[in-house]
Amino acid sequence: MARPWKLTKQPPALVKKLLLIIAVIGGSYSLWSQEETAPDYGELTGNFQFDGYFYQEDSAIGAFGSNYPDEKFLGQGFMNLNYTRGNFRMGVRYENYQNVIQGFPTEYQGEGITYRYAQFVKDGLDITAGNFYEQFGSGMILRGYEERGLGFDNMFDGVRVKYEPIKGLALKGVLGRQRKFFEKSNGLVRGLDGEFNLNELMGFGGNTQYILGGSFVSKYEAANSPIYNLPENVGAGAGRFQINSGKFSFSGEYMYKVNDPSFDNGYIFRKGEGLIFNGTYSTRGFGLIVQAKRIDNLSFRSERDASFFAVPINFLPPTTKFHTYALPALFPYATQPRGEMGFQVELTKNFKRGSFLGGKYGTTVVFNYSVASSIYKEYYDATDTLNLVKEGYKTDWFKAGDILYFQDFNFLVKKKLNRNLKMNFGYYNITYNYDVLNKGISDEDIVAKGNKPNMIYSHTFVLENQIKLTSRKYLRTELQWQLTDEDVSQEVINDDFNMGDRVMLLIEYSVAPNWFFAIQDIYNYGHPDVAKRLNYPLASVVYQVGTTRFQATYGRQQAGIFCVGGVCRLVPATNGASLTITTNF
Amino acid sequence: MKNALYITTFLSVFALASCDIVDEPLKDGIGGGGPAPTETLRSVLIEDFTGHKCNNCPKAADEIDLIQGLEFGNRVFAVGLHVTQFFAGPDASYPEDFRTPIGNEYETFFNISALPTGMVSRTDYTSTSSGHLKNYSAWASEAFALTAELAKFEILPNVTYNAVDRTISVTAQIPVLEEYTGNLNFMVMITENDIVAPQKMPDNSKNSNYVHKHVLRGGLDGSWGKVVNSGTALEGDTLLYSGVSAPIDSTWNKDNLYALMFIYDADSQEIWQVTEEHVP
């Protein structure tokens, strides 16, 4: 965590001018303290990141032609500046994409100030004008957030008011337009959220905490369709609860959305519904997490014709585990907003030191199982145009769908063998519906084809060792081995690099606190297409000084294809060198 | 507690007031005839960026068919530009290569990154954003709005074909219906209809007998056409496109060829009028 630039001394003249400008822009709030001895000029904090990539042509992995950028070198980055004094806060972010690096949404083209806000907190009132991020409940009805690594940002530009009129009641209201890359959404978003802490509000519950919440979000977008009577105002409501009692925690949220025909749902006028439950139990040495979810037609964007990363209002939380090891991470899962039933359970057990399984230093075991499938859908006859457009299909909450999207069983054993050696061993068994998750094919099209989607079944074994060589020198190795069984067409084999058995070796050597070196290679020795049995070597060096980090990488990265809601984006293969600089202050 | 009640009431009123519940989703009279316009109205061009290995692209082609069947659909023209190596490059299963130098240039210029996508008369174009690229579900609304506008130009073309040397020639008169200041180019594209060739379908299967429509084959004056006006064109003026001749490829079916012609602003890229003629 960077130490903020605390201005307790007289600042240099240039900085003083800058702060004066900020104060004038920010309004009438007095920048200069009346105390002569210790003037408080506030705090200025920020961070900076630059990513540059120098590309090489590499026909073996498909990095040529239109997949090889004319610019040869692409770079992008950002800087955030935040100024805080007392109850007042303001900030800006500058972003540049000159030009956007491969694999990111190409809609990010150019440079400019993308984020600016002023915020004031007083008497329980918290007001933000300008850009802001916000979340109601689990985010199922509204969530503005950013994922820099993905190139995702759906922040709002408008006004947000938070108010706590009485203890135990928190209210939020938002009005704004969402960011759409370097533009803004055509649609307006209005939202209200209230959260009641019953213990504080009504004075009951003892050691058990009861929280209830409710949200309403509405979007407006003008409509001019020659085909449909489109709703211009689309509303959604959600109710939630949370109960915390000692070792137990249980929460849930239900969302309902009125007719919202869109590109995502194929312009059907069906209502949307979603229900999610989370339960946890934790005690010393033992943890249990259970999640269940049902989603039906719950894509919610401020533009009805938007797709991919553009202007989603809500976030549908996944009920699968995100893997950090490289090979199991090749088969990721994303919530399917058109419809999904999901379930996840995770059990963590620490075996104590000195026990039979704990040994001298203790052992941790994590088991995880998750599954996601379609919801039950009974389609209307093709001649029943009205119901096809109005409802699309019939469903039943208590019947499961026939299409398996994803299933993951995995476990990880963490063991310290001696003072200098830690070892992790993991196993990942993933069933991956290639058609749904890689090609974005709809349930209807899969059913029409006899419910025989292209499937990939994988078993991955991971062995990680962390060796302390000296007090400052560490060696970390990863050996990963993935065995796959593809039930796919010849066309998929021809198109896709991402299949077949492979093995990966990673060696990292670090000298604290400044240096870090790593080399890795993935060898896709079992690709069904012999021409795609390739090595993907990668080497990197990191130099860190204070809060500043320089990273240089050179090597190959695999191609992939990414589909959402019926539109596909190619994430091309790359070969080349990259440089990343990050710092904060 | 009373406050909480007030707030809940306010939330409920807000909720009810902010929803449009639609009982009749479809508009009446889809595909109906309607009265003939008495003034010259604007026609629009849908540039459909597509590829034979793009499984969702047939949905976009179907949308064009749907739009052209609507009341205003006779003033909606289309061209399919096969782009990107990944989706349009040939291989053993999809041996045809429908890519063209024009399509390749547009792919970069118009910042194409995902398929299917398209432009409706190139409205909202900027070099630094993608607002001009519309999902196919938006094409009908966009086209509907633009075709309701009065035309700024009319295109009176003369398309001829020389069977001896298999060349197409186009000239055109372009009456100015409303004063216009700007740099205007006139572009002629040659498209071919009803090409039977493999196409990846929405269920990811291959349809070997897919009928490709409006396939861009080439242009008479490169990718950007010929300048027909700089400065101000006054109402009542007539711009002239003197035209050139160009040979057609031996693999093209001459009987299915069309000359697609449009006038556009070379700076904003917006297409102001478009028409099409079957090659005689």
Q: For each of chain A's 585 residues, which pLDDT tens digit applies?
A: 444 444 444 545 544 555 555 544 444 444 444 445 677 889 999 999 999 999 999 988 888 877 788 899 999 999 999 999 999 999 999 999 998 898 888 888 889 999 999 999 998 899 999 999 999 999 999 999 998 877 889 999 999 999 999 889 999 999 999 999 999 999 999 999 999 999 988 887 678 999 999 999 999 999 989 999 999 999 999 999 999 999 999 999 999 999 999 999 999 999 999 999 999 999 999 999 999 999 999 999 999 999 888 999 999 988 999 888 989 988 888 889 999 999 999 999 999 988 888 888 999 999 999 999 999 999 998 888 888 899 999 999 988 899 999 999 999 999 999 999 999 999 999 999 999 988 888 999 898 888 889 999 999 999 999 999 999 999 999 999 999 999 998 888 877 778 899 999 999 999 999 999 999 999 999 998 898 899 999 999 999 999 999 999 999 988 765 544 444 455 678 999 999 999 999
Q: Residues of A216-230 as b/e, b for ≥16 C-beta within 10 angstroms? A: bbbbbbeeebbbbbb
**Do B56 and A109 lie within an 8 Å CB cutoff?**
no
Gap between the Cα atoms of B20 and A62, Å rounded: 48
Say if residues A345 and A288 touch (Cβ distance below 8 Å).
yes
Question: In Å, what is the CA distance from B228 to each residue of A221, B175, B189, B275?
Answer: 38, 12, 16, 16
Whether chain A has a CB inside 8 Å of the CB on B52: the answer is no
Say if residues B157 and B277 touch (Cβ distance below 8 Å).
yes
- Contact map slice: B 62-121 vs A, CB within 8 A: 66, 70-72, 84-87, 89, 91-93, 104, 107-108, 111, 113-117
Q: For the segment A452-489, what is each residue's pLDDT rounded down to a tens digit?
A: 899 999 999 999 999 999 999 999 999 999 999 999 98
**φ, ψ (nearest 5 deg) of residue B112:** -80, 125
Q: Residues of A546-569 as b/e, b for ≥16 C-beta within 10 angstroms? A: eeebebebbbbbbbbbbbbbbbbb
| Max Cα–Cα distance, chain B, nearest Å | 91
Q: Which amino acid is at B21?
A: I
Question: In Å, what is the CA distance from B43 to each residue of A472, B121, B159?
Answer: 72, 9, 19
Chain B's closest residue to A229, CA to CA, is: B25
Rg (CA), chain A: 26
Residue B69 pLDDT = 93
**Do A441 and B53 lie within an 8 Å CB cutoff?**
no
Q: B43: exposed, middle or buried (C-beta count within 10 Å: 0-12, 13-18, 19+)?
A: buried
Mean pLDDT score of chain A: 89
Angstroms from B280 CA to nearest CA on chain A: 33
Sequential pLDDT tens for chain B (280 residues): 565 556 666 666 665 567 899 989 988 755 444 556 678 999 999 999 999 999 999 999 999 999 999 989 999 999 999 998 889 999 888 999 999 999 999 998 998 888 999 999 999 998 878 889 999 999 999 999 999 999 999 999 999 999 999 999 999 999 999 999 999 999 999 999 999 999 999 888 899 999 999 999 999 999 999 999 999 999 999 999 998 888 999 999 999 999 999 999 999 999 999 999 999 9
**φ, ψ (nearest 5 deg) of residue B83:** -135, 165
Which residues of chain B neighbour A196 with C-beta distances below 8 Å? 4
ipTM: 0.84
Q: How much helix, strand and coil, in percent to the nearest 5, is found in chain B?
A: 20, 35, 45
**Do A441 and B204 lie within an 8 Å CB cutoff?**
yes
Which residues of chain B neighbour A186 with C-beta distances below 8 Å? none
Chain B's closest residue to A308, CA to CA, is: B114
Gap between the Cα atoms of B110 and B128, Å rounded: 9
Q: Are strands B184-192 and B215-219 parallel, antiparallel or unpaired?
A: antiparallel
Q: For the segment A524-567, what is each residue's pLDDT rounded down to a tens digit?
A: 999 988 988 999 999 999 999 999 999 999 999 887 655 444 44
Gap between the Cα atoms of A518 and A342, Å rounded: 37
Beta bridge partners of residue A378, listed in sequence order: A394
Gap between the Cα atoms of A4 and A43, Å rounded: 6
Whether chain A has a CB inside 8 Å of the CB on B130: the answer is yes
Q: Residues of A396-420 as b/e, b for ≥16 C-beta within 10 angstroms? A: eeeeebebbbbbbebebbbbbeeee
Alpha-carbon B164 to chain mean position: 32
Q: Which of B76, B79, B80, B77 is nearest to B144 (CA)?
A: B76
| Max Cα–Cα distance, chain A, nearest Å | 83
Q: Are strands B76-82 and B44-50 parallel, antiparallel or unpaired?
A: parallel
